[in-house]
Structure 1
Amino acid sequence: MKKIYISIFVLSAFTFTGCADDYLDVKQTETVSVDDIELFNNDNGAKTFVTSIYSKFLDWDMSSFGWIGLASITSDDADKGSTPSDTGTDKDVLDALTYNASNPSAESTFNANYDGINRCNQALAIIPKLDKADPALRARLIGEAKFLRAFMYFTLVKCYGGVPIVDHVSSIPLSPEDKTMQLTRKTTAEVYAFIEKDLADAIQALPNRTAYADSEKARASKGAAYALLAKVSLYQKNWQKVIDNCDLITGYGLAPDYAKMFRLEGENDIESIFEINGNGAVPARGIQGYSNTQGVRDSWGWGFNQPSQSLVDAYETGDVRKDATIIFRGTTLYDGTVVPTVELEEGQTDPNPRYNFKAYSSAFTNAWETDANIKYLRYGEVLLMKAEALNELSRTSEAITLLNQIRHRAKLGDTPAASQSEVRTAIWKERRVELAFEFDRFFDLVRTGQAKDAFAADKSIYFPNGRVFTVGKNEVFPIPASFILQAEGLSSQNPGYN
């Protein structure tokens, strides 16, 4: 395949997948020429630009070690894992909430999402020019690109607060206006407004998931856009908008078996609204290091992101979600894999007694690119989002009904909560055990104001006295120091970081 050269966001350079095993090399010095565009002026060529966006989610820097550290190990659901002496580069300071602006995971997550956003901007710039591609396909692909851009901006605003809004491909040479765009942080409210606009556009363009062929079932759908818009509204406490968008999500339901959702047989099932597919259809690659870094230490993995004792204690007796979420030493897994025990000397404590079952891959146990998927939006969370919003609007009895649907699937009885405040606490707890290791817990603690108390209570062999969450600082992660340096005064650091 002929190389094409594309202008890119100043923070990073990237490569994206083309047809089969070919790659399009990207450089900052040139833009796509008319001849280059003509190579892609057909249906398959148009798809290539959006497939490259999905491909980004399979990369090590986007969905693997750094993201796991930033969004999971920092929470009270997880300890660093591995061994006490193995820092995992920065996972020890993430676990301790003592990271600074030079933190590698905060930097890689920031850059990876802007890398993906740039791919979205390239797709949005080029696809309208492909006049030999089917118009309906082009409209759908533009909708997918806008959904994926909104998804990445939602990750950024949750992690860092206000960030630069880069909404188009920059000129070459870089104009003063584009430099300002790329290096100036917008407010949190402005970022949320941009996300909402992208999702509104995506909703108009995307089909329902039933309209996709089986080979394209991993692509974004109208339901995914409504679900993400509901979640964006949840984070802004726009309760009625949460309900309105949840009500527009149709064609989904609760999977009857919670555990099977996170196995190969449960990929893109009736509950799945949007997930990242490893060794799946878009494209046929696995997520780099996702299962390996979280696998059983000294057997098939590195042992990081270990389920905490605090999480174990959060499950009620009989809750089937506990054994579907946590691998315990000395057990036999559903596929016959035996999790070995370790011999300990008297007085020793096993530093690796538990592992993340939702990241487990049966067929690709030792493979670097795993077939495990990451479920980011599913119908169980839609019910919990709607329940939370209903309760906040004093429609508590309706909220209880939805909460009990989730509990019944987990083989639990009706919630004993009755008052609005009791139901609020019950919903928050249910989100924890329902969505554990799905990258929500840290952000849920922040948005609900529970973080300081939750971290103080999160005691382990690593932190016998709990952890200190500094209010006014730890709600967001540091903007990478490298970006602040590059911004030359156009952007400032989040409070408390240096």
Structure 2
Amino acid sequence: MMKFKAYIAKIMVVSTIVISSTSCSNDYLEEVTYGEVSPDEMTKPANVERAIISAYSVLNGQFDGASNAYNSPASNWSFGDVVSDDAYKGGGGTGDQNNIHQMEIFNTLPTTIDVERKWMALYEGVKRVNEAMRLLAASENFDTNLKAQRKAELQFLRGHFYFELKKIYNHIPYIDETAETVNDYAKSNTEFTSEELWGKIEADFQAAYNVLPVTQEDAGRPTKIAAKAYLAKTYLFQEKWQMAFDATTEVVNSNYGLMDDFQELFLPENDNNKEIIFAVQHSINDGQPSNYNGSIGDRLLAPGGPFYSQYGFHRPSQNLVNAYKVTANGLPANSNENLKETDLVDPRIDITIGRPGVPYKDLGVLYEANWARDLATYGEFSPKKRIVSANSSFHLEVWPYVSALNYYILRYGEVLLWRAEAAVEIGQLEVARTLINQIRNRAKNTAYVKTLDGSANAANYSIELYNSVWSNQEQAREAVRMESRLELALEGHRFFNLVRWKKADEIISKYLEVEKTRRTHLSNASFIEGKNEYWPIPQAYIDGVDAGLVTQNNGY
């Protein structure tokens, strides 16, 4: 069978099914047409497969011929990191992608381009899933057993797209495969309660779990364990702690596990390793125009300097850098005092963040503060964990400067963190400690970043396990949450975790109070509790449906 990444590329280059629909005067709801297949050909198995692949292809946030998938990134670097205490927008000052700057200072509007394009990308995914389901059901010659599996894959994908919509916008329209026309997608966002929406998302993942195989020949397709893991995440977001804990049991007993080396986890040559449960499959130089199958949503994140383009977005915050400071016993110091060169630090800091005086990747040079495009505004640090070495064949040296590193939607290390979190909430504190120690032990035994000559560690690295019994639930909860931050930093999860922990207002307000003294671009930032936990419903969607059909989110 053709490799899955190449198959996506081939389908997107040759043709995809054109979505059948009635005309609609509202441009915002009209379909994006990529190619045409005559109506009598649409339900042939090969063309149904193309429709299914078309649904997969929008996972990376690229859904049209534009090059601004960075406004709808699969990695959520802007939606999950820049609006948290982990990162600044970066780039060439506040006027560069000012829309993201407005998000960063919590002045987001229903007309913000990112608000609209993220919504459009996710609903494009929903639409493609629904139409592929309809074609699959109507295909008389599709292999019966494979048909059930492909439907389960589509249910998994739809669960993912709706999960993203729910955590970003909260109150959303829900449309399933019974939709036949564009007008069927112009629905109320209050038809279903929050609990009912979560129930529909759960149902898709459960249905996928019931049918999906344990392994897939194509690495980019979801497995039974992937569906169970996503079901656990869905429970977690609803605080269904026992159900979340139980759901992770099957994952930890599966063939998935932690990679031995934290740094090697993020090398594109190790894509789809044993820790990766489900990922957006990226590729470059595969024939796709403009390399849109690469990490197109992250193309502004290149750190600058002598090896990379000068976009310079997604800059780690001083607060995040300080979070990696550890005490003499190798545990998190929980100090927001600026890190000094002599301080002891968690070794993950120099795998996650580019710091002056520390070697950057395998380039044979020290990272320098002047790599930063706007050093005065955004400081001296850069992203590093998910940046591919400029020496790698998986890095594209020309526009659009993307890479073939996959984006990990579900990874085993994160599942361990979920399980630990759920264990704390159901009173199994020692289980939680054991799980967190697995994460920390991997970090402890990772190959540390060395000086250029390889003779010593590049910094004063120190990390130890939690050796004392956990008997205080609140302290255990905070330890798990800190470990989540250190392990998952710059992977697009931080803000959503703060919201579901009901800590967004407290932590972000405290962060801004100090960070405003460090970074003047945040001087007008203010988080409003009860509003800024979610993004507004796009004004273009509200304007495109019948008056009164859509209720705007609180405060917008």
Query: TM-score, normalized by length of structure 2?
Result: 0.78
Letter in 1 for 2:484: R
Aligned to 1:200: 206
Aligned to 2:50: 48
Query: Cα offset for 1:60?
Result: 3.9
Query: Cα offset for 1:331?
Result: 3.9
Counterpart Cα distance in 1 of 2:286 and 2:476: 40
* Aligned match for 1:37, one of 39, 42, 49: 42
Change (3 A) 1:146 1:154: same
Q: Point out where structure 2 has 5 or more consecutive residues left out of the alignment.
A: 1-13, 327-343, 445-462
Query: Cα offset for 1:180?
Result: 6.0
**C-alpha deviations, 1:373-432, integer Å up to 9, x for none?**
111111111111111111111111111111111111111322265411100001111111
Q: RCO greater where, 1 or 2, for CA within 8 Å and sep 6 or more?
A: 2
Aligned to 1:311: 320
3-state DSSP of counterpart to 1:360: coil
Query: Cα offset for 1:71?
Result: 2.5
When the two chains are superposed, the root-mean-square deviation of aligned CA atoms in Å is 2.8
Letter in 2 for 1:147: F
Query: Cα offset for 1:173?
Result: 8.2
Counterpart Cα distance in 2 of 1:365 and 1:281: 8
Q: Is 2:115–2:538's contact at 8 Å kept on the other side of the alignment?
A: yes
Aligned to 2:118: 109
Counterpart Cα distance in 2 of 1:290 and 1:337: 28
Letter in 2 for 1:190: E
Query: Cα offset for 1:468?
Result: 2.5
3-state DSSP of counterpart to 2:385: helix
Q: Is 1:15–1:25's contact at 8 Å kept on the other side of the alignment?
A: no
3-state DSSP of counterpart to 2:127: helix
* Aligned match for 1:99, one of 92, 97, 108: 108
Query: Cα offset for 1:248?
Result: 1.6
Counterpart Cα distance in 2 of 1:46 and 1:289: 26
Counterpart Cα distance in 1 of 2:271 and 2:385: 12
**C-alpha deviations, 1:91-147, integer Å up to 9, x for none?**
111111111211111111111100010000011101122232322222111111110
Aligned to 1:366: 397
Q: Is 2:417–2:480's contact at 8 Å kept on the other side of the alignment?
A: yes
Counterpart Cα distance in 1 of 2:363 and 2:350: 15
Counterpart Cα distance in 1 of 2:182 and 2:81: 40
Letter in 1 for 2:493: D
* Aligned match for 2:355, one of 303, 322, 328: 328
Letter in 1 for 2:278: F
Of residues 49-58 and 4-13 in structure 1, the stretch that sits farther from structure 2 once superposed is 4-13
Aligned to 1:29: none
* Aligned match for 2:294, one of 273, 287, 292: 287
Change (3 A) 1:309 1:172: closer
**C-alpha deviations, 1:357-382, integer Å up to 9, x for none?**
23312332434242121111111111
Query: Cα offset for 1:89?
Result: 3.6
3-state DSSP of counterpart to 1:141: helix
Indicate yes or no: 2:274 matched with 1:275. no
Query: Cα offset for 1:172?
Result: 4.5
3-state DSSP of counterpart to 2:244: helix
Counterpart Cα distance in 2 of 1:283 and 1:393: 51
Change (3 A) 1:183 1:281: farther
* Aligned match for 2:417, one of 384, 404, 411: 384
Aligned to 1:20: none
Counterpart Cα distance in 1 of 2:284 and 2:15: 26
Query: Cα offset for 1:87?
Result: 3.0
Indicate yes or no: 2:225 matched with 1:223. yes
Query: Cα offset for 1:330?
Result: 4.9
Query: Cα offset for 1:438?
Result: 1.7
Query: Cα offset for 1:446?
Result: 0.8
The aligned runs of 1:409-428 (5 Å cut-off) are 409-411=442-444, 412-415=463-466, 418-428=471-481
Aligned to 2:550: 491
Counterpart Cα distance in 2 of 1:387 and 1:380: 11
Q: Is 2:209–2:224's contact at 8 Å kept on the other side of the alignment?
A: yes
Aligned to 1:19: none
Aligned to 1:7: 20
Aligned to 2:140: 131
Q: Is 1:164–1:183's contact at 8 Å kept on the other side of the alignment?
A: yes
Query: Cα offset for 1:187?
Result: 2.3
3-state DSSP of counterpart to 1:310: helix
Change (3 A) 1:461 1:2: closer
Of residues 179-188 and 126-135 in structure 1, the stretch that sits farther from structure 2 once superposed is 179-188
Aligned to 1:256: 260
Aligned to 1:457: 510
* Aligned match for 1:235, one of 224, 234, 237: 237
Q: Is 1:286–1:370's contact at 8 Å kept on the other side of the alignment?
A: no
Aligned to 2:527: 469
Of residues 184-193 and 122-131 in structure 1, the stretch that sits farther from structure 2 once superposed is 184-193
Query: Cα offset for 1:13?
Result: 4.3
Counterpart Cα distance in 2 of 1:169 and 1:25: 22
Query: Cα offset for 1:325?
Result: 1.2
3-state DSSP of counterpart to 1:305: strand
Aligned residues: 472
* Aligned match for 2:497, one of 444, 451, 461: 444
Counterpart Cα distance in 1 of 2:287 and 2:477: 40
Letter in 1 for 2:258: L
Change (3 A) 1:409 1:303: same
Change (3 A) 1:457 1:300: same
Indicate yes or no: 2:421 matched with 1:408. no
Query: Cα offset for 1:8?
Result: 5.3
3-state DSSP of counterpart to 1:275: strand
Change (3 A) 1:2 1:377: closer
Counterpart Cα distance in 1 of 2:318 and 2:132: 45
Counterpart Cα distance in 2 of 1:476 and 1:3: 34
Counterpart Cα distance in 2 of 1:173 and 1:452: 38
Aligned to 1:170: 179
Query: Cα offset for 1:183?
Result: 6.3
Counterpart Cα distance in 2 of 1:189 and 1:349: 46
